[in-house]
Amino acid sequence: MSQNTQAASAGATTGAAADDTEEESAREVQVLEFKLGSETYCVDIDYVSEIVDKGSLTAVPNAPHYVEGVMDLRGRTTSIVNPKSLLNVDASEDESKRIVIFDPGKFEDEAAIGWLVDEVYQVVRVGMDDVEEPPLEKDDAIEGVIKRDGELVIWISPVDAVASN
């Protein structure tokens, strides 16, 4: 075998391995898991810009029912949304302690939006093969359901959740 043929063969093998790695990572996504009420939810980490502690919010007259208020976050007025209202989650006890701030570039009008959540758990890598269709009527905001460790994690699209209200 000539050196050129060996080099081409080695390159093809390396290229195939790289393609497999790219395909593998294309079928996985990182999600941020958080608690709302008694359930665990997640969003694609690409939507998240940061997580902050819940501070004081300023109420906005005539705002939609799901907007808790606004806060100044580094000079930008950020609308703080209660996803429990958006998703019809039992809100009998308000345990919201953290705010997940979303990347404004992901929203059509580039709005600065944050979600009040009870607790932030972790960022995990999820294989797309592990994401199941929602068992009930399709809600545009629900991307799917992930079964892990005997629990269900509900995958939410923040853009669709806000847009559908």
User: Could you report the per-residue pLDDT of 80-119, keeping only the tens digit for each?
Assistant: 999 999 888 887 677 889 999 999 999 888 889 999 999 9
Identify any residues that bridge with 51 across adjacent strands, giving them in sequence order: 100
For residue 16, tell me if it sits in a domain.
no
For residue 11, tell me if it sits in a domain.
no
Q: Is 5 helix (H, G, I), strand (E, B) or coil?
A: helix
Written as one letter, the residue type at 123 is V
What does the pLDDT look like over 135-145, one tens digit per residue?
A: 776 677 899 99
Question: Which pTM was predicted?
Answer: 0.79
Q: Using an 8 Å Cβ cutoff, are 145 and 154 in contact?
A: yes
For residue 3, tell me if it sits in a domain.
no
What order of strands is seen across the sheet that includes strand 113-117? 48-53, 98-102, 113-117, 76-81, 67-73
- Sort strands 76-81 and 113-117 into parallel, antiparallel or unpaired: parallel
Q: Using an 8 Å Cβ cutoff, are 76 and 89 in contact?
A: no
Rg (alpha carbons) of the chain, rounded to whole number: 20
Q: Is the pLDDT of residue 155 over 60?
A: yes
Q: What is the CATH number of the domain that holds 158?
A: 2.40.50.180
Number of domains in the chain: 1
Average pLDDT of every residue of the chain: 84
Q: Is 131 helix (H, G, I), strand (E, B) or coil?
A: strand
For residue 98, tell me if it sits in a domain.
yes
Range of 87's domain?
Answer: 29-163
- Report the 10 Å Cβ neighbour count for 32: 20
b vs e for 75-99, b when ≥16 Cβ sit within 10 Å of the residue's Cβ? eeebbbbbbbbbbebeeeeeebebb
In the chain, % of residues over pLDDT 90: 56
* CA–CA distances in Å: residue 48 to residues 7, 17, 81, 94, 115: 43, 31, 14, 22, 10
For residue 5, tell me if it sits in a domain.
no
For residue 21, tell me if it sits in a domain.
no
Tokens representing 23 are 């395909």
For residue 8, tell me if it sits in a domain.
no
For residue 4, tell me if it sits in a domain.
no
Written as one letter, the residue type at 150 is G
